[in-house]
Amino acid sequence: MDNRRLNATTLVLYGFVGLWSLVVLIPIVFMFMTSMKTRNSMFMRPLDLPESLNFQAFERAWGVGIGQFMVNSVLVTFLSVALIVVISGLAAYALTRMQGGWSKLTYLLIVAGFAIPMQAVLVPLFQIISGAGMLNSRLALVLPYAAYGIPFTVILFYAFFLDFPRELEEAARLDGCTRFQTFMRIILPLSGPAIASAAIFQSVFIWNEFILALLILTQPDLKTLPVGILELQGEFTADWPAVMAGLSLATLPLLLVFVLAQKYFVRSLAGLGK
Amino acid sequence: MGSVSIANVSKSYGSFEAIKNIVLQIEPGEFVVMVGPSGCGKSTLLRTIAGLETVNAGTISVGGEDVTHREPAERGVAMVFQNYALYPHMTVTGNMGFGLKMAKQAQAAINGAVSQAARILHIEDHLHKQPKALSGGQKQRVAIGRAITREPKVFLFDEPLSNLDAALRTKMRVELGRLHNQLGATMIYVTHDQTEAMTMADRIVIMNDGEVEQVGSPLDLYNRPVNRFVAGFLGSPKMNFIDALATDVDEKTVRVSLSDTFSFDVARNGTAPSPDDSITIGIRPEAFGEGDVGFELDVRIVENLGRETLVYGTPVGFASSESDAEQGDIVIHFPRQREVRTGERISVRFSANAIHIFDAGGITRHFANTCS
Ligand SMILES: Nc1ncnc2c1ncn2[C@@H]1O[C@H](COP(=O)(O)OP(=O)(O)OP(=O)(O)O)[C@@H](O)[C@H]1O
Ligand SMILES: [Mg+2]
């Protein structure tokens, strides 16, 4: 009896997960399929399999400079994530170890910062960047992205550091470590899961970020992938296979990161660093 | 080797005084065990010696040098934690050599110190392993090894064996004793375990409520407790306490009345109570047997341990004064097997010389004569 009910629940759960996976996967499969088709077949039989493995759309997409966009995206994402992880790590550690009310207040302010959507401050942000003469520079993306990613990452690290075993730090102090050395030699090496989760979360967001990049970057050789692909649509009004090929190329790096870090990522979400 | 002087040390957390004006002198090479009920401040005192907690008042000296305001690593002490606190991302070698590495010692010196410590602790076969691949006993050895490599003047242990099973604990207890002899270092050891305290200590420090109740050799504390707390804390099962009256006091004797009809004379050896003072008498469970005073006991529980027998029962005519003793039970220890059944009434004897007398404030007024 109990067993049967368990089976029924499992079945329903699997059904739900399966359905959800389909919802997520179908557009991706459609994107890859379309990118292999010709313009004709794409419109005539949009749901059929491609007739052959045809990589011409990829060549056309690469032709507009997907390579350069990708380099830009990698640079911006990498720099922002590095900045976010370093600053959030140090800040969260200090906040968890500081005594007294000021650290609590600071933490609350940082959490409050997390509640402000980027769209709400887009206009003043643009004015600030423009006023600083930083339009069309990578730094003008990296700094806002970092500022936007830090609150969430601080919250993530804060929870992790609160649970970090006190004795390990005390043992390090007895072994002659300063606070900073304790952080670098003991805490950081053991924070892999927390860092991995933070890095993946932020990478996905920054890699896909569109609106700020669209506003800041007008110079073609600086554009990131989401903005660059838009260009592709303008130049080849009817070339959907090329657009799809460009999107496929844009998706690949993240997909790769996910597959590589998947085990780490899932585990760290389950126990947040345990 | 180093002495430790703790002079008038106090430590508060907010308004809560965790340790209060503690004075303690520990000689070089001594093995001192600190015991006391949970929350009495043992760990706090140990951590102030280590430098992990700052003190509110008083000074701490190690090896004659005032270290009150020094960093933990500069005090010449090493600490072993209850839950090992090994660095999970380093091998055993890395763990044991970390302190020396931080002190910028040459790699050859580090290797030498690590392999010597590993030899002493019999963990040479595990040097390349990570802590998670070790058993509890091995982890604790590594933790001790990490302390040894730094050649501290003073070792601090905070309940180092309490995560191990009973058999391993016994084994490690003996090994720690051997280690103490071999290194000749000063060791301060916190424990909950009476056996550890009694067997390992040169001197025991009994703490209660942030204060030191008594310091002395294990037998000294067991035989001549200065107050009721110490008398009740050492010994398992604990001493029986019975409320009484001192009805008659003269030059040589005190008359102790447990009830209107039950009284006996005790030859005095301490500061006598005044006549008609309420007092408490203490009798250790093993002090029953032969003697000049007798009473009846209704047996309630019998614990046959093979080598010895514990009998819990309600005495006829008086009762235990312990609030947690059910139905006024007292406990009697027979050092052999004995045929007793629950519900039976047995007669029990004890010697009037085998009791302690405490006054209403809990201070000892008379010590039992144990060497009879
Ligand atoms: N960081 C702290 N903040 C506030 N109070 C504390 C702190 N550390 C310890 N205390 C309090 O100080 C008292 C002594 O604690 P301590 O850890 O020294 O006890 P202990 O004798 O080691 O107990 P146990 O045998 O359970 O380990 C306790 O009442 C505890 O609640
Ligand atoms: Mg403790």
CA B71 to chain centre: 29
Query: Hunting for tokens 């010449």 — which residue is that?
Result: B76
Task: Write the residue with the smallest CA distance to atom 16 of ligand 1.
Answer: B41
pLDDT of residue A237: 64
Q: How confident is the model at residue A253 (pLDDT cuts 50, 70, 90)?
A: confident
Q: A172 to chain B: which residues are within 8 Å by CB?
A: 87, 98
Per the CB < 8 A criterion, the answer to whether B313 and B300 are in contact is yes
Domain residue limits, chain B: 4-227, 232-366
In a domain, A7, yes or no: no
Ligand 1, pocket-test mutation among B9, B10, B13, B53, most atoms within 8 A of CB: B13
CATH code, domain carrying A232: 1.10.3720.10
Beta-carbon contacts of residue B340 (< 8 Å; ≥ 6 apart) = B299, B302, B309, B311, B346
Distance from CA of A175 to the nearest CA of B (A): 4
Q: What is the 3-state secondary structure (H, E, C) of A6-73?
A: HHHHHHHHHHHHHHHHHHHHHHHHHHHHHHCCCHHHHHHCCCCCCCCCCCHHHHHHHHCCHHHHHHHH
Q: Which of A165, A175, A189 sits opposite B102 (nearest CB)?
A: A175
pLDDT of residue B264: 92
User: Of chain B residues 264-293, which have a CB less than 8 A from chain A?
Assistant: none
CA B41–ligand 1 middle distance (angstroms)? 6
Helix (H, G, I), strand (E, B), or coil: what is residue A74?
A: helix
The closest of A57, A51, A22 to A39, measured between CA atoms, is A57
> Rounded to whole angstroms, how far apart are CA atoms B269 and A103?
61
Q: B98 to chain A: which residues are within 8 Å by CB?
A: 172, 175
In a domain, A119, yes or no: yes
User: How buried is B177 (Cβ within 10 angstroms: 0-12 exposed, 13-18 middle, 19+ buried)?
Assistant: middle
Number of domains in chain A: 1
Ligand 1, pocket-test mutation among B16, B35, B79, most atoms within 8 A of CB: B16
pLDDT of residue A177: 94
CB distance B102–A177 less than 8 Å? Answer: yes
> In the numeric block, which tokens belong to residue B157?
């242990």
Residue of B nearest to A181 (CA): B102
Please write the tens of the pLDDT for every residue from A17-65: 999 999 999 988 888 888 888 777 777 777 777 777 778 888 888 887 8
Topology, domain B232-366: OB fold (Dihydrolipoamide Acetyltransferase, E2P) (2.40.50)
> What kind and span of H or E run contains B78?
strand B77-80
Q: Which of B85, B99, B146 sits opposite A167 (nearest CB)?
A: B85
Residue of A nearest to B143 (CA): A171
In a domain, A26, yes or no: no
B307 touches A at CB < 8 Å? no
Ligand 1, pocket-test mutation among B15, B40, B189, most atoms within 8 A of CB: B40
Edge-first strand listing for the sheet containing B309-315 = B330-334, B309-315, B288-304, B345-350
pLDDT of residue A228: 85
CA B42–ligand 2 middle distance (angstroms)? 6
In a domain, A18, yes or no: no
pLDDT of residue B326: 80
CB distance A189–B98 less than 8 Å? Answer: no
C-alpha distances (whole Å) from B11 to each of B62, B212, B364 are 18, 14, 29
Q: Is the CB of B22 under 6 A from ligand 1?
A: no
In a domain, A159, yes or no: yes
* Cis previous bond, A27, omega within 30: no
In a domain, A46, yes or no: no
Please write the tens of the pLDDT for every residue from A3-24: 556 688 889 999 999 999 999 9
- Residue A187 belongs to what domain range? 61-270
Q: Is the CB of B46 under 6 A from ligand 1?
A: no
Task: Write the residue with the smallest CA distance to atom 1 of ligand 1.
Answer: B13
Residue of A nearest to B78 (CA): A174
Helix (H, G, I), strand (E, B), or coil: what is residue B156?
A: strand
B4-227: CATH number: 3.40.50.300
Percent with pLDDT over 70 in chain A? 91
Per the CB < 8 A criterion, the answer to whether B80 and B189 are in contact is no
pLDDT of residue A200: 86
pLDDT in tens, chain B (372 residues): 689 999 999 999 999 999 999 999 999 999 999 999 999 999 999 999 999 999 999 999 999 999 999 999 999 999 999 989 999 999 999 999 999 999 999 999 999 999 999 999 989 999 999 999 999 889 999 999 999 998 999 999 999 998 888 888 898 899 899 999 999 999 999 998 888 999 999 999 999 999 999 999 999 999 999 999 999 999 989 999 999 999 888 888 899 999 888 999 998 888 888 888 899 999 999 999 888 999 999 999 999 999 999 999 999 988 898 888 788 899 999 999 988 999 999 999 999 999 999 999 999 999 998 764
Question: Is pTM, for the whole model, over 0.95?
Answer: no
Please write the tens of the pLDDT for every residue from A166-194: 999 999 999 999 999 999 999 999 988 88
